Amino acid sequence: MDDEKIIELFFARSKDALTELDKKYGAVMRRVSKNVLKDEEDVKECLNDAYLGIWRAIPPQKPSPLSAYVCKIIRNISLNRHRKNTAMLRDGRKNVSLEEIADIIPDNDDVFEKVAGNELRDVLNRYLSTLDKTNLYIFMQKYWYFEDVSSIASRLKMTEPAVYQRLERMKKSLYKYLVKQGVMK
């Protein structure tokens, strides 16, 4: 079923909306959550929370594309669960992916001083649009979906060092791009 029909089901408040959403995007949502959490029970709870959140948000929201919308919701819910689960343990597993580029992207206080509103998002999107298909895939899998390098390399039939090398080059080029755009000094 296409996204428009699924959204129509939500607007009609049909319980089939969640069934169809799960058929189409459930596996992707589970993978995103599992990459963050690893614990199957936490993944199930996050999926339930995501489906409830989506049910409450549509209507009035009419997201396009639906795939990005549901992935963003499950990712945020899973990250919040991860933070809650590891608050006392201070497990840095997920923080590592973000910390790898944290020295490139300025912290929130600096961003709000230098970039108003959604401008940083727009700058990052423009940077991502400069990447070729393979590099964009690697970047998104590593820093959005929290895939480990071995999984990315396996899926792309590349060596792990080759993926690491591409990630390093992208971090350097992102830094240069942010400097050029005036976001960084």
Q: What is the DSSP string of 71-104?
A: HHHHHHHHHHHHHHHHTTT---HHHHHHHHHHTT
Range of the domain at 55: 3-86
Which of 33, 62, 86 is the last residue before a domain boundary? 86
Residue 93 has pLDDT above 70, yes or no: no
Asked whether the beta carbons of 45 and 80 are under 8 A apart, the reply is no
pLDDT, tens digit, 9 for 90 and up, residues 113-153: 444 446 777 888 899 999 999 999 999 889 888 888 999 99
pLDDT, tens digit, 9 for 90 and up, residues 2-54: 999 999 999 999 989 999 999 999 999 999 999 888 889 999 999 999 999 99
Kindly state whether residues 81 and 117 are assigned to the same domain. Answer: no
pLDDT of residue 103: 54
Residue 96 has pLDDT above 60, yes or no: no
- Residue 185 domain-assigned (yes or no): no
Kindly state whether residues 81 and 24 are assigned to the same domain. Answer: yes
Residue in this structure with the two tokens 């690893």, named with its chain if needed: 38
Q: Which residue has better confidence, 144 or 168?
A: 168
What's the structural domain count of the chain? 2
